[in-house]
Amino acid sequence: MTLYVERMGHLVAEHQMLLKDALLPNRIGIYCLLRIEFLIPWEAHLVRTIEWKDGLVVTLDQTKLPGEEVLIKLKNCGEVASAIREMRIRGAPLIGVAAAYGLALTAHHSKARYREELMDELEASADLLKKMRPTAVNLFWAVERVLKSARGSFAGVELLKRSVIEEAEKMADEDVETNRKIGEHGSKLVEDGDTFLTHCNAGRLATVDYGTALAVIQMAWKQGKRVKVIVDETRPLLQGARLTVYELIQDGIPVTLITDNMVGYVMSKGMVDKVIVGADRIVRDAVINKIGTYTVAVLASEHSIPFYVAAPLSTFDLTALSRDVAIEERSPEEVTHIQCHRIAPKDAWAFNPAFDITPLRYVGAIICEKGVIFPSEYGNSLESETLKRLGP
Ligand code: MRU
């Protein structure tokens, strides 16, 4: 891909090497027409998927990937909420941190003179954010965590504003560290020569950095294990084809793309050693993840292929059972169209649940930042006691 830097209306191509060189492995590079008026080199790449920069939240528009790598600069909580709803920002952990940053924007720009006024503004922003997507529990977890820390503080307006921003920054830092640990723990399940199949995108684009399922693969790769990855495209929005393949190519990890309906075939041909996916919510009896995960899990079971789930503790909701969780239904147009191109007859009716439910009996291990949990520990019901046994 070529980098074009727009500066004062001119395309400045000489920045190509400079910016390319500035990218570290495991970092998100922007090789695109950057829609920033006066661009200076440090702005041209993000070290993390989402960043707080001088009262703006900066991230990549994931709907445009991989064709265009466009940075979006979000100025207020409403813009963060819209970006989450439109899936410019997506992936459970990233949605959580973005929501925390949304509240930080509310605090940063607030003109409130009294603490109570600021709290009312934060509560209103929280209500808005929580309406954006119902299934990924990280959204609710993050909003509640920021509100709880704000409610518990008796600081005046200025200090409270600062503490909300600091809490969001802390959550972003924690997400990076959490995912690094997930990678470390999970890599113990990876053997040299393994071919993994993954579904949707549980890579760094779905988190602040590293990813969850892909952190495991990336860590194993860094340890010198020669892993390969098969990625299913993940209709309707193609997060597998667009985002996971893009990340793995950037990391230099061998990757093969298949369509969703090829999963059974590749498994039956012995082409898959292990499956690893992320999660949007882990409840007591199931893992809830991108639509199609359940199908992959059942096929893995049929072919005696281990099926692993990697997720941070912020994705666990052990007060709930799967029947309590709202499964997001999105626009039928995501099914009748592929990337804005109609594929079904006009007036076709379509059903578009965004997530499905995989009962724990199909799950061969859950990897979180505290370690790896096996079925011998959770059976058909995952309890918070099980997590406590993993230690601090
Ligand atoms: O609808 P999306 O793209 O937000 O769904 C994402 C997934 O289902 C991921 O697998 C999940 O959020 C885990 S991301 C680490």
Query: Is the domain of 83 the same as that of 150?
Result: yes
pLDDT reported for residue 385: 92
Residue whose Cα lies nearest atom 6 of ligand 1: it is 91
Q: Is residue 240 part of a domain?
A: yes
- The residue assigned the tokens 């009294």 is 114
Could you tell me what percent of the chain has a pLDDT over 70? 89
Residue whose Cα lies nearest atom 15 of ligand 1: it is 202
Query: Is the domain of 311 the same as that of 377?
Result: yes
Q: Is residue 31 part of a domain?
A: no
Residue ranges of E strands in 300-384? 307-310, 337-338, 341-342, 355-359, 365-368, 371-373
Ligand 1 atom closest to the CA of 62, numbered from 1: 3
Per DSSP bridges, beta strands 28-29 and 45-46 are antiparallel
- pLDDT tens digits, residue range 154-169? 889 999 999 999 999 9
Tell me if 200 CB under 6 Å of ligand 1. Answer: yes
Q: Is the pLDDT of residue 30 over 60?
A: no
Q: Is the pLDDT of residue 1 over 50?
A: no
Q: Residue 165 belongs to what domain range?
A: 45-179
- pLDDT tens digits, residue range 206-218? 999 999 999 999 9
pLDDT reported for residue 20: 34
The answer to whether 216 touches 186, Cβ cutoff 8 Å, is yes
Query: Is the domain of 199 the same as that of 312?
Result: yes
Specify the higher pLDDT residue, 8 or 107. 107
Residue ranges of E strands in the chain? 6-7, 10-11, 28-29, 45-46, 50-53, 56-60, 71-74, 195-198, 228-232, 255-258, 274-277, 281-282, 286-290, 307-310, 337-338, 341-342, 355-359, 365-368, 371-373
- pLDDT tens digits, residue range 43-87? 457 899 999 999 999 999 999 999 999 999 999 999 999 999 999
Q: How far is the CA of 200 from the centre of ligand 1 (A)?
A: 7
pLDDT reported for residue 143: 98
Give me the number of domains the chain comprises: 2
Tell me if 91 CB under 6 Å of ligand 1. Answer: yes
The answer to whether 343 touches 322, Cβ cutoff 8 Å, is no
Q: How far is the CA of 276 from the centre of ligand 1 (A)?
A: 13
pLDDT reported for residue 390: 86
Q: Is residue 3 part of a domain?
A: no
Q: Is residue 198 part of a domain?
A: yes
Other beta carbons within 10 Å of 278: 30
Average pLDDT taken over every residue of the chain:
90
Query: Is the domain of 246 the same as that of 171?
Result: no
Minimum mean pLDDT among 7-16, 22-31, 229-238: which range? 7-16
Q: How far is the CA of 270 from the centre of ligand 1 (A)?
A: 27
Q: pLDDT band for position 33 (50/70/90)?
A: very low
Q: pLDDT band for position 153 (50/70/90)?
A: confident
pLDDT reported for residue 165: 98
Q: pLDDT band for position 186 (50/70/90)?
A: very high
Per DSSP bridges, beta strands 228-232 and 195-198 are parallel
Query: Is the domain of 60 the same as that of 208?
Result: no
Tell me if 207 CB under 6 Å of ligand 1. Answer: yes
Closest CA to 125 of 84, 94, 166, 170: 84
Tell me if 212 CB under 6 Å of ligand 1. Answer: yes
Query: Is the domain of 76 the same as that of 220?
Result: no
Query: Is the domain of 371 the same as that of 248?
Result: yes
Query: Is the domain of 108 the same as that of 87?
Result: yes
Q: Is residue 70 part of a domain?
A: yes
Q: Is residue 75 part of a domain?
A: yes
pLDDT reported for residue 167: 98
Residues identified as active-site: 280
pLDDT reported for residue 44: 54
Residues 73 and 81: their CA atoms lie apart, in Å, by 13
Q: How far is the CA of 322 from the centre of ligand 1 (A)?
A: 17
Q: Is the pLDDT of residue 231 over 50?
A: yes
- Name 73's Cβ contacts closer than 8 Å, sequence gap at least 6: 36, 53, 56, 57, 58
Ligand 1 atom closest to the CA of 95, numbered from 1: 4
- Name 108's Cβ contacts closer than 8 Å, sequence gap at least 6: 55, 161, 165
Query: Is the domain of 158 the same as that of 97?
Result: yes
Q: Is residue 383 part of a domain?
A: yes
Q: Is residue 336 part of a domain?
A: yes
Q: pLDDT band for position 391 (50/70/90)?
A: confident
Residue whose Cα lies nearest atom 8 of ligand 1: it is 290
One-letter amino acid of 386: T
Q: How far is the CA of 158 from the centre of ligand 1 (A)?
A: 36
Query: Is the domain of 323 the same as that of 249?
Result: yes
Q: pLDDT band for position 37 (50/70/90)?
A: very low
CATH number, residue 292: 3.40.50.10470
Ligand 1 atom closest to the CA of 239, numbered from 1: 3
Ligand 1 atom closest to the CA of 212, numbered from 1: 15
CATH number, residue 131: 1.20.120.420
Query: Is the domain of 275 the same as that of 210?
Result: yes
Tell me if 94 CB under 6 Å of ligand 1. Answer: no
- pLDDT tens digits, residue range 298-339? 999 999 999 999 999 999 999 999 999 999 999 999 999 999
Q: How far is the CA of 249 from the centre of ligand 1 (A)?
A: 19
Query: Is the domain of 255 the same as that of 288?
Result: yes
Q: pLDDT band for position 288 (50/70/90)?
A: very high
Sheet containing 307-310: give its strands across.
255-258, 228-232, 195-198, 274-277, 307-310, 365-368, 371-373
